[in-house]
Structure 1
Amino acid sequence: MNLSLDRPLAFFDLETTGVNVGSDRIVEIAILKLWPNGKKEEKRHLVNPQMPIPEETSNIHGIWDKDVENEPSFEDLAPALFLFFKDCDLGGFNSNKFDVPLLVEEFYRAGLDFDLTDRRLIDVQNIFHKMEQRTLAAAYKFYCDKSLDDAHSADADTMATYEVFLAQLDRYDTLKNDMEFLHEFSKRGNFADLMGRLAYNKKKEIVFNFGKHRNKLVKDVFRSEPSYYSWMMKGDFPQSTKTILKKVKLELDKENK
């Protein structure tokens, strides 16, 4: 199947030091960039995370401290990656929940604002879960009748995700070959931030989506409990979440003047 693209679509996968978006780092990134004219470009980098890789994590993806000690840091790679992703929609497997937030966080650390405002996010796992409820390896077997022998290799996972995506579009008549439709279909919910800590209510106001203030307006909480803002800004929350909180706080401060 030929994808119906009106701008580039970049499938990517990350291998990391762990699963905490706020504190863990990328150790490998693989990207498959698809152009509307059918052109394909691939990039793959090992990345020095500038922190130890836990042994239990290395046992999963096979990347050890010695493998990345002489590799560039993400900050070194960031300018070129930023340009490579320019004007791209993003695709991946579990990417809306993990890979995209962590990628954005790494760009923040490198001093680059990787704006997602006009990007469409295609999460193949969300499509898969809505249709079949499986893992990537099972998805690859189910849709492509192939075994994913090199799972947790960024290259293998990226290519498998791309092949599964094409097979999904072939299999389901209800899935439109349209990136705007697939962006909406891939969403986990009406979240305001990438990790789902903040959400929009029916009035499109930002509310908390966790903890004791769940479903309460962020502005109302900051009015009644100013220390909650300080607690979140000092806490181990992703920078992408904190950026939204800063904007809400700034709006609130302007209202109070």
Structure 2
Amino acid sequence: MSQRILPPALLLAALAFAAAPLVTPPFMGYDPAIFPVIIARPSVQPAGYAFAIWGVIYLWLIVHAGFAMLRRNGDAAYLRPALPLLGALILGTLWLAIAGSYPITATAVILIMAALALTAYLRADPTDERWLLAAPLAIFAGWLTAAAAVSLGVILAGYGVLSDTAAAIAMLILVLAVALPVQASRPHMPVYGATVTWAITGIIVANWGLNDVVTNAAVAGAVVMATATLALSQSRKPAY
């Protein structure tokens, strides 16, 4: 894609991504009746309040794309992450339309979205206008790291590959296995780790008093992620 076309395309994609929930049915999780194993409330799924972070993600991505087009058009620092970010936003705009009826397809799509968002984030220079360049990509990638695992966990439990509890614990391990190295690669950008911690905390809240095994595992996961994020952010030499 031409470097001239990429910045306006990215802004249009960010706007479309933010507008998608306004023109598609609200997504409240996969319909349990779709699956062979009916689980009314999957343990891997965070409490509803946690999804409010999408408002921050939408706004920050629009600001990022708008600033890139209006003030940094052609700047290599903004162009490097632009293409994978564009791909993630386009897939995200389509995701709501398929999630309600096609959970396996939706899971495949969100896994690709997460990979693209992580690629975009890791291409962003964390020392160059960090709150307009790296930080919005960090919160997007952080949430998708968790969201992709949640979607996969629901599929694994819904199709009986793992029990509900086992799927939740397996996905918590997967999230940490991905998130800890990513955070270590960008130690002075705590937005990513804080976002993953937010998502895991939502799992704690959702399971409190209902599933002690998942609650305890999520508490441990949140502590590990938060501690690592804080410790890395205070390290003296950025590992960039």
**TM-score (ref. length: structure 2):** 0.27
Greater percentage in strand: 1
Higher helix proportion, which one? 2
Q: TM-score, normalised by structure 1?
A: 0.26
